[in-house]
Amino acid sequence: MEDKREICSLLAKTLQATHEYDDAVGIIYRKDPDGEEKVFIHFVNGTKTANVTGDSGIGMIRDILKAIE
């Protein structure tokens, strides 16, 4: 089983290393009691959200990138 929290942590560090997303503060993965999975991508000036319910690790990364583009 993939560790989605770890993937988010590593992706946040990767984004912070880029010029385009150097204002990224962090990425938080949450799984609700009803099974819904969301990712909150925090930036200096706001937050974006991605629904990642049922995603594989790479699918989650793709959804995060779509949410921030």
What gap in Å lies between CA 11 and CA 27, rounded to an integer? 8
Place 15 in a pLDDT band, splitting at 50, 70 and 90.
Answer: very high
- For residue 30, what is the domain's CATH number? 3.30.160
The reported pTM is 0.92
**Tens digits of residue pLDDT in 18-52:** 999 999 999 999 999 999 999 999 999 999 999 99
Number of domains forming the structure of the chain: 1
Angle at 69 between CA 40 and CA 9, to 5 degrees: 40
**Tens digits of residue pLDDT in 57-68:** 999 999 999 999
pLDDT of residue 1: 76
Range of the domain at 28: 4-68
Confirm if 40 and 30 have CB atoms less than 8 A apart: yes
Confirm if 29 and 4 have CB atoms less than 8 A apart: yes
